[in-house]
Structure 1
Amino acid sequence: MQRSSRMGSVVVLLALFCVVTSHLALAFTDGLLGNGNFEKAPKSSDMKGTVVLKSNAIPEWEISGFVEYIKAGQKQGDMLLVVPEGYAAVRLGNEASIKQKLNVTPGMYYSLTFSAARTCAQDEKLNVSVAPDSDVLPIQTVYNSEGWDLYAWAFRASYSVAVIILHNPGVEEDPACGPLIDSIAIRALYPPKATNKNLLKNADFEEGPYILPNTSWGVLIPPNIEDDNSPLPAWTVESLKAIKYIDSDHFSVAQGKRAIELVGGRESAIAQVARTIVGKTYELTFAIGDASNSCEGSMIVEAFAGSDTIKVPYESKGKGGYKRAVLRFKAVAIRTRVMFFSTYYHTSSKDFASLCGPVVDDVKLLSVRSPRRLV
């Protein structure tokens, strides 16, 4: 009887072990973080007006400093506070932060996606960190007429547990002034490699940050001066303004599911360095078009490969479409920098406020075989 009881206990323990290990294996999934959209509210006893009083009052988050829980439709004086998605968001006052821990795989790359909107100051910033990586993202430029934007930020995991922190480093006269944060999500990145079919990596832009379902705004990828690890593997944003990452569910793209939109004119450039052989001839082919987002007018994309360049015009009606272009060049170095930017600045014809621009997709870089000599 005792032996049977022990065997039963072993079976139960094994079953519990399987449940626990299977839960740990599923601890990370692409998508929203735990309560990433802040729809689970603090208890009323843990709040004073909009101010959250306890560090663990917001389910699945730890907070510090002056943090407010803002509901949709709420006003500050005569100003309506814009909640990007759903029922609620949080606002980070002076030196305030929100924090969450997540099981990850050391050595892997991850990209965070989150909504941010400034509420008071013109020069609001947001510090995003997962130790040892940390960057300050300027959010004073509003790309979307809605008053907020989706941003991406990437990190490489150094430990098995990532401590994700969003912090407002600003110090304003009004301690409540600070960015509204909402819809925090994550995606694992798998950087592709160059092949004999394309010397550029991730040239179709399929590998990139998480795009929230049912959102038609795209995700901003900040300049590399603010982000050491690109949310768009293999590419860097070498400019002052961000580029926008878009998907075929909500925009027109030339090929596949993802593409990039150059929304900041000459201040919105994307680049990659490829291995080349000196003296060999190469062809850089790519597609340019519009995202079917009412971005109308005469567009020009300038493409560079080393010291060679081409300007490709595209007349956009804002309803989708694309054309292909080719830049042939001879390599003068063992590494050639490929870069794209938009010559002009554009805004949507729907509101004349949302920044937009030409779409670049389906980029290829291949060597051109020399014709065989006849002897």
Structure 2
Amino acid sequence: MVIDKRSVRRAALVLLLVCVAAARAVSAVGDGPLLNGNFEDPPNQSQMSGSVVTGEHAIPYWKTSGHIELICSGQKQGDMVLTVPDRTRALWLGNGASIEQQISLTPGLYYSLTFSASRTCSQDEMLNVTAAPVSGSGGSLAQTGELPVQTVYTSSGWDSYSWAFKAEAGLVSIIITHNCGEQEDPACGPIVDAFAIKTLSQPEATGDNMLRNGDFEEGPYIPPESPWGVMVPPMDEDHVSPLPGWKIMSYKKSVKYVDSAHFAVPRGACAVELVSGVETALLQEVYTTVEGSWYRLEFSAGDAANGCASPSYDDGSSSPGMKVKAYAGPSETTVDIDFRGAGGSKRGKIEFRATASPTRVVLLSLGYHTKSDNSGTLCGPVVDDVSLVPIPQPYARRLLL
């Protein structure tokens, strides 16, 4: 049999192109940025009209729909000069627009998506995030969440957000959609950038701590170069939390997940900054407490060393510092923090008798704060190292006296 070498080379080239096309369609990534997650890979110019994306596959590794613009850092939009948090490019999502990337995951594991967003024109902007099993990949349950982005927490106008889900299949489409109803300008919408993903472990309670993830060491991906942390938005009861074990109870406000590389953290590598005052609370329900038994809750409340100032009032006065309030079952305590923005922490403690099960543990800030540099950046006290343990019976009897 005579082998046509040109046919073999042609077949090999076709196979190579198919493999390359498949690789460009599906991301198989570990913890860290998604493929072209910062949109720096140049688009196909034949599918662009100026800055407007006209082809659904113009942005490598992404599928787009609706009015989408490729934004470059320093570009002017009316009187506004646009900035980009990661390198030089980002995407502007018009009303009803969406972007999608298929990623290869491990079914049954939990994941957290992190990305940056900047509000542009609407006062009530919302992003829908969906993780949907790709048809034929062995799953059918799509998970969707809403991320409110109308509150700007940093002076740069950019905030990083997180959202978590459980992988229901080995191949999942991550879809981000902007839909705020009727808008006069179809191009009005948020700018998004810097997409990354992280596998979330699910820490369990131990003999030393009845709380799950009480030290906040497990949480969403924080970009190494990001100086502002990652927002963890409010979530419904059934949603997966980017902070395993904890729920964020609020209407539209968030808490901030911070690292020791950029903030003063009481213990370990990560903590939570309460940046939304009384509008947001950290909550965990403990189902292993026994009605009538005694328990001790302890936690650290601190200053993030980020120049967070005490709130000022109309008469020119200010409060003595920040306050963290904690509830455990029927009891509560307040910890005052006044480290003048230089870091430091104090321990809070509650000893209580459980009156019901589950026992609710709640942490919140009692004030609204901004950084002392007049930038308008929202800030607040950090909480960390939260533990709940049973009180031995001999000691518990003394508490009854």
Does TM-score exceed 0.5, indicating one fold? yes
Distance 1:142 1:305, change over 3 A: same
Matched letter for residue 283 of structure 2: A
| Residue in structure 2 matched with residue 82 of structure 1 by the alignment | 83
Matched letter for residue 336 of structure 2: P
| Residue in structure 2 matched with residue 8 of structure 1 by the alignment | none
1:87-111 Cα offsets, whole Å, 9 max, x none, are 1000111211110001111111100
Separation in 1, partners of 2:233, 2:357: 28
Residue 153 of structure 1 contacts residue 227 of structure 1 at CA under 8 Å; is this kept in 2? no
1:139-158 matches, within 5 Å, as 139-158=149-168
| Residue in structure 1 matched with residue 353 of structure 2 by the alignment | 330
Residue 152 of structure 1 contacts residue 220 of structure 1 at CA under 8 Å; is this kept in 2? yes
Match for residue 332 of structure 2 among 309, 314, 326: 309
Match for residue 344 of structure 2 among 321, 338, 358: 321
1:227-261 Cα offsets, whole Å, 9 max, x none, are 81110001000123100000001111011101000
How far off is 1:371 after superposition? 2.0
> How many equivalent pairs are there?
352
Separation in 2, partners of 1:351, 1:146: 13
1:105-152 Cα offsets, whole Å, 9 max, x none, are 111110000001111111111111012111121111111111121000
| Residue in structure 2 matched with residue 177 of structure 1 by the alignment | 188
Asked if 1:250 is matched to 2:262, the reply is yes
Separation in 2, partners of 1:51, 1:296: 42
Residue 334 of structure 2 contacts residue 348 of structure 2 at CA under 8 Å; is this kept in 1? no
Separation in 1, partners of 2:349, 2:157: 38
Separation in 2, partners of 1:226, 1:306: 19
1:262-314 Cα offsets, whole Å, 9 max, x none, are 00000121000112011111110111101111013311100001121001111
Matched letter for residue 74 of structure 2: G
How far off is 1:226 after superposition? 9.3
Residue 135 of structure 1 contacts residue 226 of structure 1 at CA under 8 Å; is this kept in 2? no
Match for residue 284 of structure 2 among 263, 272, 284: 272
Separation in 2, partners of 1:226, 1:295: 31
Residue 29 of structure 2 contacts residue 35 of structure 2 at CA under 8 Å; is this kept in 1? no
Gaps of 5+ in 1: 1-15, 17-22
| Residue in structure 2 matched with residue 134 of structure 1 by the alignment | 144
Distance 1:141 1:76, change over 3 A: same
1:319-358 matches, within 5 Å, as 319-358=342-381
- Which deviates more, 154-163 or 74-83? 74-83
Residue 299 of structure 2 contacts residue 347 of structure 2 at CA under 8 Å; is this kept in 1? yes
- Which deviates more, 349-358 or 183-192? 349-358
SS in 1 for 2:124: coil
Residue 115 of structure 1 contacts residue 184 of structure 1 at CA under 8 Å; is this kept in 2? yes
Separation in 1, partners of 2:374, 2:229: 17
SS in 1 for 2:301: strand
1:50-105 Cα offsets, whole Å, 9 max, x none, are 10111111111111111100000001111112322211000111211110001111
Separation in 2, partners of 1:367, 1:134: 38
SS in 2 for 1:35: coil
How far off is 1:172 after superposition? 1.6
Separation in 2, partners of 1:347, 1:120: 23
SS in 1 for 2:128: strand
SS in 1 for 2:394: coil
Separation in 2, partners of 1:360, 1:50: 43
% identity of equivalent residues: 51
Matched letter for residue 307 of structure 1: P
Separation in 2, partners of 1:191, 1:334: 22
Separation in 2, partners of 1:227, 1:282: 28
Separation in 1, partners of 2:374, 2:87: 23
1:193-243 Cα offsets, whole Å, 9 max, x none, are 011100000000001100001111010000113981110001000123100
SS in 2 for 1:90: strand
Distance 1:197 1:218, change over 3 A: same
Matched letter for residue 295 of structure 1: C
Separation in 2, partners of 1:235, 1:181: 26
- Which deviates more, 175-184 or 26-35? 26-35
Separation in 2, partners of 1:72, 1:102: 27
How far off is 1:370 after superposition? 2.1
1:55-134 matches, within 5 Å, as 55-131=56-132, 132-134=142-144
Structure 1: 4+ residue segments shifted above 3 A: none
1:330-361 Cα offsets, whole Å, 9 max, x none, are 11123100000001110111234111100000
Match for residue 221 of structure 1 among 216, 232, 236: 232
Separation in 2, partners of 1:201, 1:306: 17
Separation in 2, partners of 1:135, 1:224: 8
Residue 277 of structure 1 contacts residue 331 of structure 1 at CA under 8 Å; is this kept in 2? yes
Separation in 2, partners of 1:336, 1:355: 31
Matched letter for residue 151 of structure 1: Y
Match for residue 234 of structure 1 among 214, 220, 245: 245
Residue 110 of structure 1 contacts residue 188 of structure 1 at CA under 8 Å; is this kept in 2? yes
